[in-house]
Amino acid sequence: MSDILIVDDERDIRELISDILRDEGYQTRLAANADDCIEALNAAPPALMILDIWLKDSRMDGIDILKTVKRDNPGIPVVIISGHGNIEIAVAAIKQGAYDFIEKPFNIDQLMVVVGRAMEASRLRRENADLRKRDLTTADLIGTSAAFKALKAQLDKVTKSNGRVMLTGPSGAGKEMAARYIHANSGRAAGPFVSVSAATIEPERMEEVLFGRQTAGRGVEKGLLEQAHGGVVYLDEVADMPPGTQSKILRVLVEQQFARVGGADKVRVDLRVISSTSRDLRSEIASGRFRQELYDRLNVVPIPVPGLEERREDIPALARHFIDMFHRAQGLPQRDLSAEAEAMLQTMAWPGNVRQLRNLVERLLILGEDTGPIEARELPGETEGVAEDGRVILSGALATLPLREARELFEREYLLTQINRFGGNISRTANFVGMERSALHRKLKSLGVVTSAKAGGRVAQYGEEEDEGED
């Protein structure tokens, strides 16, 4: 990401700019029209773009390309080249997000000043983004539960080797985080960590994205595998890999080398492969969707990553960790968690695992109060209920109480609800809940529930006795 993409329909001009910049030590890539430009952007985002406004034989002009870049790659600074006297267009381009402009004809010094400034801005922006990303992705793994400790012990063991690791576990449980942990604590920590999400790469572009491209005009554009040289390549959700990609990856693993698209040279890269799946690969293999040979090569050390519900003990520490993180990275308020909110978080269902917790914390910090602890009432309307798998979901209020008090609260609310359902009719209620009428009366009395025969409204309540409601 330290090269400059020069987009100009006039060959002399783009080559002149390129020569000047290369003399100054920059790497350049050239594009003559919108299609070449978009292709180059997709192959790898450059550190800077120099873009001519008028492009002949191009399906988009410079302003349209600028808009596309600002939409898809807002971090790339774009310097516009405008014709002499076209100051309005240059101003319009700046409004669309261009970093600066140079007017034709320009001299070398002007060009170098603008490019120097833009590259510096780009470097700072990247550094910032990297810092933020590191903050969000490679922070220490949080957890003290038994399930987490078992995971950590396995991760620590594999940091010392170079073996291929397959992380399994539900989505959002922290598989990529675990892979980053292995990388950061291994001998490859100084090398790159490159994440490949095969499902999101268009199958037609897969080879180019993975293996890179080699052309006479543009030289070498490194693919993801080459970018990961000396480090770790993380194959995310391998079960989502189209069959063609599975074969290609398998061949690289077997041959330990590959060729770039359009190139004959064999490229050898030094990689550690860590992959992940949230699906059962054995059944994917059985149904013919995943190749057994690839599975055997990737699954050298399988490590299961537990879902959040298997490590509820870690939820408060994780929630506090995310509060700190969002405070530092985004300036969101640093709030504590009330005991009820904490208990409620620990009893909720977490189908989206740690990611869901992180998103919830972010939402609470954005939408909630600026000060004071996060309270249970701010949490999503999860209350007691019976989950699909038959487990009871408890609210924070119940979860913080001793059993006797929790049972009393439950019984009172349960019986109130039933009496109201049956319109205050104690016989029918007793029949439904499976108690003798007299026993139910005693129970209600001990719980402080009074019933009222008044028509309409809530006919049973907790509190002062009004009259002996009867059927």
Ligand X SMILES: Nc1ncnc2c1ncn2[C@@H]1O[C@H](COP(=O)(O)OP(=O)(O)OP(=O)(O)O)[C@@H](O)[C@H]1O
Shortest CA distance to 235 belongs to which of 264, 282, 200, 286? Answer: 200
Q: State in angstroms the smallest separation of the CB of 297 from ligand X.
A: 20
Sort strands 48-52 and 3-7 into parallel, antiparallel or unpaired.
Answer: parallel
Q: Which is nearer to ligand X, 121 or 142 (CB)?
A: 142
Q: State in angstroms the smallest separation of the CB of 383 from ligand X.
A: 25
- The pair of structure tokens assigned to 309 is 């519900």
Q: State in angstroms the smallest separation of the CB of 86 from ligand X.
A: 46
Residue 14 to residue 11: CA distance in whole angstroms:
5
- Phi first, then psi: give them for residue 261, nearest 5 degrees: -60, 130
Residue 337 to residue 344: CA distance in whole angstroms:
11
Q: State in angstroms the smallest separation of the CB of 441 from ligand X.
A: 52
Q: Which is nearer to ligand X, 272 or 311 (CB)?
A: 311
Q: Which is nearer to ligand X, 211 or 322 (CB)?
A: 322
| Residue given tokens 């120099």 in the structure block | 50
Q: Which is nearer to ligand X, 12 or 140 (CB)?
A: 140
- The pair of structure tokens assigned to 431 is 């029949």
Residue 306 to residue 169: CA distance in whole angstroms:
6
Q: State in angstroms the smallest separation of the CB of 67 from ligand X.
A: 31
Q: Which is nearer to ligand X, 175 or 260 (CB)?
A: 175
Q: State in angstroms the smallest separation of the CB of 293 from ligand X.
A: 23
Q: Are 64 and 58 in contact, with CB atoms under 8 Å apart?
A: no
Q: State in angstroms the smallest separation of the CB of 354 from ligand X.
A: 4
Exposure string for 330-340, b = 16+ CB within 10 A, e = fewer: eebbebebbeb
Q: Which is nearer to ligand X, 177 or 343 (CB)?
A: 177
Q: Which is nearer to ligand X, 18 or 278 (CB)?
A: 278
Q: State in angstroms the smallest separation of the CB of 277 from ligand X.
A: 8
Q: State in angstroms the smallest separation of the CB of 276 from ligand X.
A: 6
- The pair of structure tokens assigned to 369 is 């109060």
* Residue 448 backbone class (left: φ over 0; alpha: ψ -120 to 50; beta: rest): left
The string of DSSP codes covering 181-237 is HHHHTSTTTTS-EEEEEGGGS-GGGHHHHHHEEEETTTEEEE-HHHHTTTSEEEEE-
Q: Which is nearer to ligand X, 274 or 444 (CB)?
A: 274
> Which spans of this chain sit near ligand X (rule: CB under 6 A)?
137, 141-143, 171-177, 236, 276, 278, 318, 321, 354-355, 358
Beta strands in 296-401 (DSSP E): 301-304, 385-386, 392-393
Q: Which is nearer to ligand X, 141 or 189 (CB)?
A: 141
State the residue number with the nearest CB to ligand X. Answer: 174
